[in-house]
Amino acid sequence: MIQNEREIRKELVLNAARRMMTAARTAPKGKGVDIIEIAIVTNEDIERLSKEMINISEETGMKFLLRDADNLYKADAVLILGTRQEVQGLNCAHCGYITCAEKPAQVPCAINSVDLGIAIGSACATASDMRVDTRVMFSAGLAAQRLAMLGEAKCCMAIPISASSKNPFFDRKPKEA
């Protein structure tokens, strides 16, 4: 049997995305509390994500979202990661408040955000090990959050994934409306 890489490329990217999910899940968590949510977005859901990014750009005037929305079409999969908001009770003041009790509910626990960052780093390290192209995008993460792709998760980030001769997520030109 002959398997041509061009014919199985999407399958290879999905396998890499699944390994990235495992890396994010097994990344260290503050106090050992797992509040990370992770999913893979493909096909028509990439299109939904891209369209939501265009909507956000129209609402906010942030033009770079147009470029990022267009960029998603070059991805075979998009990993989305977010965190459930759960105060860790450390009274560390990293959120800007002296104690967890003083922190307003709408202010995220800093430990939650740190856990998400570590999970993203682990996922990206795995992507590098698998030699797939990626870029962390808060823009696509914001769209995923607005679409509730991870349920009630907050502070969502996205990592588009591709396997091509040149990483399509770097050296990008601005896109006009």
Residue pLDDT, tens place only, 84-126: 988 888 999 999 999 999 999 889 999 999 999 999 999 999 9
In the predicted model, what is the mean pLDDT of the chain? 93
Residue 163 φ then ψ, to 5°:
-130, 100
Q: Are 140 and 65 in contact (CB under 8 A)?
A: no
User: Tokens 């959120």 sit at which residue?
Assistant: 95
Residues 163 and 76 sit within 8 Å (Cβ to Cβ): yes
* DSSP reduced 3-state for 72: helix
Chain mean position to CA 127: 13
Out of 66-70, 107-111, 171-175, which region has the weakest mean confidence (pLDDT)?
A: 171-175
- 175 pLDDT more than 80: no
Q: Domain spanning 5-162 has what CATH number? A: 3.40.109.10
Residues written for the chain: 177
116-132 per-position pLDDT tens digit: 999 999 999 999 999 99
Residues 6+ apart with CB under 8 A from 59: none
